[in-house]
Amino acid sequence: MKKRLSALLLTLAFLMVVLLTSCGEAAGGNDQVTPPDITTPSLNHENEIDEPPPPVQLDPPRPPEPEPPNPPEPPNPPPPDPTQRRIAITFDDGPSVWTSRILDRVENRDDVRLTFYVIGNRLHNQTNRDILLRAYTMGHEIGNHSYSHRNFSLASTTNAILRNELDQTSNLIYEITGTRPATMRPPFGAFNRNRNYGYPVIIWNMDPQDWRNTATVDQIYQYIVDRATNGSILLLHDIYERTYLAFSRALDTLTERGFEFVTVSELLGLTPGSHWGYYFRSTTHRRYVIAPVFDNQD
């Protein structure tokens, strides 16, 4: 019995030696592989494809949670004709008595088309409704500026609230003019790029801050005439006398310089009801001017 055991152990030991030796040969064999000919580098790129996958790392460090992807950016609209001087002057937060004065000012100017971003809760008042209808009939664009001037970028502004804010105003505008607004301007210019507002979101690239109590007519006027460039969208508020006065002066100066006064939709080539999805990133200004309408409504 003992003899058979020791014979078995001997056989096992022998097998192990053979195994170890053959491993050593295989390892040594690699050393003898002819080194690649470095004077004639291989141009065969198929080798790159056949490379084995990199070794799997155990417990790799966890990367930070990726940011939600931004929606794809469609190409910018074609650049405007450099010989043109077109500007879209927009007024937010009306209508008001100053809207009437602005309309009086451009009454005989068929070449001047403005854009008014109106607040829905101002459209229950008959005087304001008349002003809105007058602006629309004169050929100006009426845009949606929410119902109660709510901040659209806050998480507390749920989709239901958002839709209500925009729909109520759209319905009121439709009731008065028979046409729904084609564009929207979010109150405070605050919006979230990944959120669907159902309208092209129109911001601006010229902001003379006419809403500040300290703003003077001269300052607002000077800002406008110093910075007006082709393709600009100017933000003003038709609820201040100073804004009306500065606009009135700037209109003459810009007219002398050959500016054309167009609505936002005209400036950007929007057609009513079109499903429009451009980002327009002005090349001469740092701000986004417009966000797209997304396909998905929710």
- Specify the residue, 93 or 141, whose C-beta has the smaller distance to Zn ion: 93
Distances from the Cα of 296 to the Cα of 127, 194, 197, angstroms? 38, 11, 10
187 near Zn ion, rule: CB under 5 A: yes
**DSSP structural state of residue 206:** B
- Specify the residue, 116 or 221, whose C-beta has the smaller distance to Zn ion: 116
What is the spatial distance between Cα 257 and Cα 198, in angstroms, rounded to a whole number?
Answer: 37
Which residues are within 8 A (CB) of 48 and not within 5 positions of it... i.e. 6 or more apart? none
Indicate if 92 belongs to the active site. Answer: yes
94 near Zn ion, rule: CB under 5 A: no
143 near Zn ion, rule: CB under 5 A: no
Which residue minimizes CB distance to Zn ion? Answer: 92
Long-range contacts made by residues 221-225, C-beta under 8 angstroms, separation at least 24?
A: 221/245, 221/246, 221/249, 221/250, 221/253, 224/250, 224/254, 225/250, 225/253, 225/254
Query: Which residues in the 248-277 window bind Zn ion by CB under 5 A?
Result: none
Which residue in 93, 210, 237, 238 is the catalytic one? 237
Determine the interface stretch with Zn ion among 19-27, 54-62, 121-129, 184-192 (rule: CB under 5 A).
184-192
Smallest distance from the beta carbon of 92 to Zn ion, in angstroms? 4
92 near Zn ion, rule: CB under 5 A: yes
DSSP state letters, 175-201:
HHHSS--S-B--GGG---TTS--SS-E
Smallest distance from the beta carbon of 116 to Zn ion, in angstroms? 11
What is the spatial distance between Cα 253 and Cα 224, in angstroms, rounded to a whole number?
Answer: 10
Please state at what angle helix 126-137 crosses helix 97-105, rounded to 10 degrees: 20
Q: How many residues bind Zn ion (CB under 5 A)?
A: 3
93 near Zn ion, rule: CB under 5 A: yes
165 near Zn ion, rule: CB under 5 A: no
DSSP element (H, E) containing 216: none
Smallest distance from the beta carbon of 149 to Zn ion, in angstroms? 6
- Specify the residue, 204 or 259, whose C-beta has the smaller distance to Zn ion: 204
- Specify the residue, 239 or 254, whose C-beta has the smaller distance to Zn ion: 239
Does residue 201 contact residue 192 with C-beta atoms inside 8 Å? Answer: no
Which residue in 92, 93, 210, 238 is the catalytic one? 92
Interaction site with Zn ion (CB under 5 A):
92-93, 187
Indicate which residues carry an active-site annotation. 92, 237
